Amino acid sequence: MEPKYQTVAQTYEQLQVMIRQHKDTGFGLAVTDALFEAKNPFEPASRRRLRAGVSIAVILSLALALIFIYFSFLHGR
C-alpha cells in the first residue's frame, strides 16, 4: 500500500472546497458579525439589526455628504 501524494494545486483545491462547505467561516461572516448584532440561537429565522455605532456612523456620513453637496453645488446660486 503506497501513500497517495498530491500536488500543491490539488491540496489547495481541496482546502477551498472544505472552506466553501463550512458556512461558519469566512470574510463575509466576519463583516456581517462586525456590522450586525449577534444572532439569537433560539430564533435563527429572525432578522439581525444593525449595531448602534454602525447606524450612527451611517447617519452622520449621510448628513455630512448632504451638507457638502449643498454648500458645493446649490449654495452658490
Best CA proximity match to 41, nearest among 58, 24, 55: 24
Domain ranges of the chain: 8-74
Task: Give pLDDT tens digits for 19-40.
Answer: 888 877 778 888 888 999 988 8
* Model confidence pLDDT, tens digit, residues 36-77: 998 888 888 888 899 999 999 999 999 999 999 999 888 766
63-73: per-residue pLDDT in tens? 999 999 999 88
What pLDDT does 75 receive? 72
User: In this predicted structure, what is the pLDDT of residue 76?
Assistant: 65
Q: How far apart are CA 68 and CA 61, in angstroms?
A: 10
Distances (CA, A) of 28 to 3, 23, 24, 76, 77: 37, 10, 10, 43, 45
Separation CA 31–CA 2 (nearest Å): 44
